């Protein structure tokens, strides 16, 4: 059975990154967009990162332009936007597709492991969030309407989990 740790991605700076580097960390994986009604969630995501990173939380942001053309800029412009407007310090990755035939293998895995409402697998919109345990197992999917602050209990329960 594969886990999130079995996938490679590209950083927003264009470097290859193995998600196995995050083994032992709780992950919140989010498809982001810079020109979306949910874009202010970057502030809440950064607040979660500030609060929980020393306890083992990593937030991984993946820009996506598949929903309403809301992230059309280059990776460099996206990174600058996130840094200047929301002081984002959590890792951001190269723009990718989350749905369709061009969907990144990571997102195919996330969607199959944590289906949405009524078992749908497609990601519905920007800022869909996937919570992953330190072993790379996908635990849950949260809708774009779920604010980062509403994720604290779920994140804390994973951070507090002690494997046998």
Handedness of CA 31, 45, 26, 58 (dihedral sign): positive
Which residue, among 109, 115, 153, has the nearest Cα to 4 in the 3D structure?
109
- Is 64 in the active site? no
Which residue of the set 36, 64, 106, 151 is catalytic? 36
Q: Which helix (H) or strand (E) holds 139?
A: strand 138-142
> How far is Cα 119 from Cα 31, in angstroms, rounded to an integer?
19
Q: Which of 60, 150, 44, 134 is nearest to 98 (CA)?
A: 60
Bridge partners for 18 per DSSP: 8
Which of these, 62, 49, 61, 60, lies nearest to 155 by C-alpha position? 49
Element (H, E) at 26: strand 26-32
Catalytic residues, by residue number, are: 36
């Amino acid at each position: 059975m594969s886990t999130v740790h079995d996938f490679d991605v590209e950083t927003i700076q264009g470097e290859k990154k193995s998600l196995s580097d995050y083994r032992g960390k709780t992950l919140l994986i989010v498809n982001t967009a810079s020109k979306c009604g949910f874009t202010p969630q970057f502030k809440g995501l950064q607040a979660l990162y500030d609060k929980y990173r020393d306890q083992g939380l990593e937030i991984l942001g993946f820009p996506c332009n598949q929903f309403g053309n809301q992230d059309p800029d280059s990776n460099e412009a996206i990174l600058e936007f996130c840094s200047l407007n929301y002081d984002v310090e959590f890792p951001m990755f190269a723009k990718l597709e989350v749905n369709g035939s061009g969907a990144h293998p990571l997102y195919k895995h996330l969607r199959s492991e944590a289906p949405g409402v009524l078992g749908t697998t497609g990601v519905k919109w920007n800022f869909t969030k996937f919570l992953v345990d330190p072993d790379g197992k996908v635990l849950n999917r949260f809708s774009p309407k779920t604010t980062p602050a509403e994720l604290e209990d779920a994140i804390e329960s994973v951070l507090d989990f002690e494997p046998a």
